[in-house]
């Protein structure tokens, strides 16, 4: 299946280059766009894993909503983000080391986990399965998610209102 | 059944590529041959109703734009939870209706809070 | 489509599918051309004018002439713009508008994809266009553009939520996100979803109209306030692609509405001697006409009315519709 390998390669490349650009670009709005590219690549990978629901949720929430939210967030700040980044040598070395450590840890985790080798059929309609599982086995986390959303909403309103009164 | 899945996404890829090729072919292909190129310094200035542009366009925007974006994210996430619930509702029955009522109630509380705090007003 | 989707992948099938997609693209472009002509004619008649009537018989070649004119216009990229974003913003905005059409089943045999998440696909991909508009406005580095872009985005994200909530009632009734299943459910039960899901239909109609940035919700362009909104600095064919996006979405949204609420290709009153594709086209044209009619009839709303209407009006109503459908379903009425 060379087509699948090619598609995997392209999506993985999108996800990684998005991340790399995100770190290296200097204007915030370019960063937002490149993280959007990264999200899109991940969505493509989900599609290849037959997780369509997850893939389009990824596009809807991350590539659509979160990207726009971040872009709007940057527009609220005055354009004071274009300055030269200070060069910190030790900082860079430490970041590199911790990145290597995290990578090694993840690889170790991947290699030591025993993955089920039997390919399980995910079925034609895995949204239904997601729904059944979510609403029968994970009721409490689901309800907690609503509280989390409520807290995020109220918190943002409180912060923004305080900001607005200062003006 | 598997073929439908992979074929459908192949078609979507075709649509994606066509959607990119059409603007490229017309703007950078045909258009490049047909259109004149005659730049002048006045032509390249920013439009401001015929006046000299003053100041910077990148002004600081009001915080309300950001609040609406955040409300949008919260309600989008909520809708994403509603989808698998709606699909599986036949099998889940009454109990899930109660679960979902609690979930929606929480968000309606958030919406009412935003309403009462006059965040939804656009002055 | 015609059984090709069920077969194993082969380059012959790939070529057929690609050609079919190109054919659909041409149909969409033709639709856009004559939709613009039809819109100008309809609005002209409603305002006791004649509309375009000079270029060709009955002015039929007016839009063709307009497109050619745009092609030979100089392409001005102002000095102060963010060049890269300025150039790709029309593409980011246009591509999703064409991609969403892949999800629409036109008849029993004429469909391009058969995915289980068709509805979610539509909602997710169409939300990407908003990013294109935001980037276009921002990259232009012009006060009108940024203001228009921000307003558009605020409007579109506010109406995106009721739009994707409004079809949840249908998902509850059919238990599927697959658009073909939704049409089949309507054919089998014999009732189009416009009747049991009337609240959802109204919410969808209003939110869809706002998503299209059409009158009475055309504040982003508001030509007498913001001169043209986010695409002031665009000229020639780049400008044309922003306009094209709007009309391709008109095509996509009307088709989606036919599929969801008007029974797709289903023939009403047993009039099956008329082919299904004609039925689809008739319902589709009815909705397109409605959009043009609304443009000629309603005055533009104010921005504060617009935003408050989405959050205080449509979203609570859409949520109420979802809960009502679920309760009625539990009671066994649906």
DSSP letter string over A15-46? HHHHHHHHHH-SSHHHHHHHHHHHHHHHHHHH
| pTM recorded for the entire structure | 0.90
Q: Do A59 and C124 touch (CB under 8 A)?
A: yes
- Tens digit of each residue's pLDDT (9 = 90 or more) over C4-21: 777 777 888 888 889 999
In the predicted structure, residue A13 carries a pLDDT above the cut 90: yes
| Residue A167, pLDDT score | 45
At residue B80's C-alpha, the angle toward residues B79 and B86, to 5°, is 80
Tokens of residue B102, six digits: 């609690």
Q: Is the Cβ pair C117, A53 closer than 8 Å?
A: yes
Q: Do C311 and B83 touch (CB under 8 A)?
A: no
Banded pLDDT at C256 (limits 50, 70, 90): very high
Model confidence at A74: pLDDT above 50 = yes
Q: What is the mean pLDDT of residues C34-41?
A: 91
Cβ separation of A68 and C177 shorter than 8 Å?
A: no
Nearest to C116 among A36, A60, A124 (CB): A124
Residue C334, classed as helix, strand or coil, is coil
C78, C165, C326 member nearest B46 (Cβ): C78
Mutate to test the interface with C, among A36, A59, A74, A135 (most CBs of C within 10 A): A59
Cβ–Cβ < 8 Å for C304, C230:
no
Structure token pair of residue B49: 């109703």
Nearest CA to CA, how far is B85 from chain C (Å)? 8
HSE (CB half, 13 Å, CA atoms) of C70? 18
- Nearest Cβ partner for A33 among C125, C135, C175: C135
A105 touches chain B (CB under 8 A): no
Q: Quick check: B7 and C9 CB within 8 A?
A: yes
Q: What is the mean pLDDT of residues C175-181?
A: 89
Tens digits of residue pLDDT in C274-294: 888 899 999 999 999 999 898
Q: Hey, are the CB atoms on C127 and A60 less than 8 Å from each other? A: yes
Residue C210 CB neighbour total at 10 angstroms: 25
Statement: residue C330 has pLDDT above 70: yes
Contacts of C153 in chain B (CB under 8 A): 65, 69
Which tokens go with C234? 């665009």
Distance of CA C4 to CAs A4, B6, C11, Å?
Answer: 20, 12, 12
Task: Give A62's contacts in chain B (Cβ within 8 Å).
Answer: none
Q: What percent of chain C has pLDDT over 90?
A: 28
Q: Give the residue extent of every domain in chain A.
A: 1-77, 124-167
Higher pLDDT, B39 or A66: A66
Question: Buried b / exposed e across B64-83, counting CB within 10 Å, b at 16+?
Answer: bbbbbbbbbbbbbbbbbbbb
Contacts of residue B23, Cβ cutoff 8 Å, sequence gap at least 6: C90, C91, C94, C95, C237, C241
Helix (H, G, I), strand (E, B) or coil at C111: strand
Closest chain B C-alpha to A85 CA, distance in angstroms = 21
**Whether the Cβ atoms of residue C104 and residue C144 lie closer than 8 Å to each other:** no
pLDDT-derived band at A1, boundaries 50, 70, 90: low
In angstroms, the CA B105 to CA A149 distance is 12
- Does A104 score more than 60 pLDDT? yes
Asked if A109 and B73 count as a contact pair (C-beta separation under 8 A), the reply is no
Out of A7-11, A55-59, C295-299, pick the least confident. C295-299
Between residues 80 and 119 of chain A, which touch chain C (CB distance below 8 Å)? none
Fold of the A1-77 domain: 1.20.120
Span of A117-126, B111-120, C24-33 with lowest mean pLDDT: A117-126
Nearest CA in chain B to A155: B110
DSSP type of residue B24: I
> With contact defined as beta carbons under 8 Å apart, do C114 and C209 qualify?
no
How close is the nearest chain B Cα to the Cα of A145, in Å?
Answer: 8
The contacts of residue A144 (CB under 8 Å, 6+ apart) are none
Predicted local distance difference test score (pLDDT) of residue B57: 65
Strand partners, C111: C105
Chain C residues closer than 8 Å to A52 by CB: 115-117
Residues of A in contact with B60 (CB under 8 A): 75-78
Please give the average per-residue pLDDT across C110-120, as a whole number.
88
Contacts of A123 in chain B (CB under 8 A): none
Inter-chain touch A66–B84, beta carbons under 8 Å: no
pLDDT digits (tens, 9 = 90+) for C201-236: 999 999 998 888 777 877 766 665 666 677 777 877
Would you say A145 and B48 are in contact if contact means Cβ atoms under 8 Å apart?
A: no
**Would you call B35 and C17 a contact, using CB atoms and an 8 Å cutoff?**
no
Task: Identify which of C120, C131, C146 has the shortest CB distance to residue A53.
Answer: C120
């Amino acid at each position: 299946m060379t087509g699948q390998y090619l598609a995997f390669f392209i999506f993985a490349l999108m996800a990684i280059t998005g991340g790399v650009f995100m770190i290296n670009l200097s204007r915030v709005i370019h960063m937002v766009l490149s993280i959007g590219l990264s999200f899109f690549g991940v969505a493509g990978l989900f599609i290849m894993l037959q997780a369509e629901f997850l893939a389009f949720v990824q596009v809807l929430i991350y590539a659509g909503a979160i990207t726009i939210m971040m872009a709007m967030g940057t527009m609220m700040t005055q354009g004071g983000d274009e300055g030269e980044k200070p060069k910190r040598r030790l900082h860079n070395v430490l970041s590199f080391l911790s990145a290597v450590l995290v990578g090694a840890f993840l690889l170790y985790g991947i290699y030591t986990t025993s993955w089920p080798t039997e390919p399980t059929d995910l079925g034609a309609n895995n949204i239904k399965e997601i729904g059944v599982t979510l609403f029968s086995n994970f009721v409490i986390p689901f309800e907690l998610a609503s509280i989390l959303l409520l807290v995020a909403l109220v918190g943002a309103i409180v912060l923004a209102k305080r900001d607005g009164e200062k003006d | 059944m598997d073929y439908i899945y992979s074929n459908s996404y192949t078609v979507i890829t075709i649509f994606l590529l066509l959607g990119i090729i059409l603007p490229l072919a017309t703007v950078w292909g045909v258009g490049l041959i047909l259109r004149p190129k005659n730049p002048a310094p006045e032509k390249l200035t920013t439009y401001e109703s015929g006046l000299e542009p003053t100041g910077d366009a990148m002004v600081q925007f009001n915080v309300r734009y950001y609040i609406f974006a955040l409300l949008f994210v919260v309600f989008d996430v909520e809708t994403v939870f509603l989808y698998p619930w709606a699909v599986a509702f036949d099998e889940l029955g009454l109990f899930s209706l109660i679960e979902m009522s609690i979930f929606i109630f929480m968000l309606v509380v958030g919406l009412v809070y935003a309403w009462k705090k006059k965040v939804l007003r656009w002055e | 489509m015609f059984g090709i989707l069920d077969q194993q992948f082969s380059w012959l099938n790939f070529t057929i599918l690609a050609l079919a997609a190109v054919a659909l693209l041409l149909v969409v472009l033709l639709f856009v051309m004559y939709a613009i002509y039809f819109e100008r004619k309809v609005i002209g008649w409603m305002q006791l004018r004649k509309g375009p009537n000079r270029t060709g018989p009955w002015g039929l070649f007016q839009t063709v002439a307009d497109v050619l004119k745009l092609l030979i216009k100089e392409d001005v990229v102002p000095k102060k713009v963010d060049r890269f974003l300025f150039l790709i913003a029309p593409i980011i905005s246009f591509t999703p508008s064409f991609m969403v059409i892949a999800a629409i089943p036109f008849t029993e045999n004429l469909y391009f994809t058969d995915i289980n998440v068709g509805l979610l696909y539509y909602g997710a991909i169409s939300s990407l266009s908003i990013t294109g508009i935001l980037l276009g406005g921002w990259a232009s580095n012009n006060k009108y553009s940024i203001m228009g872009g921000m307003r558009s985005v605020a409007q579109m994200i506010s109406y995106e939520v009721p739009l994707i909530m409004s079809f949840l009632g249908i998902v509850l009734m059919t238990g599927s996100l697959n658009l073909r299943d939704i049409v089949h459910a309507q054919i089998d039960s014999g009732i189009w979803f416009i009747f049991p899901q009337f609240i959802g239909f109204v919410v969808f109609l209003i939110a869809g109209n706002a998503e299209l940035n059409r009158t009475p919700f055309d504040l982003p362009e508001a030509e007498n306030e913001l001169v043209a909104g986010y695409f002031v600095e665009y000229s020639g064919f780049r400008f044309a692609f922003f306009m094209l996006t709007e009309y391709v979405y008109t095509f996509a949204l009307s088709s989606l509405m036919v599929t969801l609420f008007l029974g797709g290709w289903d023939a009403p009153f047993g009039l099956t001697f008329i082919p299904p594709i004609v039925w689809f086209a008739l319902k589709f044209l009815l909705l397109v006409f409605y959009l043009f009619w609304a443009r000629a009839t309603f005055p533009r709303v104010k921005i504060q009315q617009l935003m408050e209407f989405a959050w205080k009006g449509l979203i609570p109503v859409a949520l109420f519709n979802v809960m009502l459908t679920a309760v009625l379903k539990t009671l066994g009425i649906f």
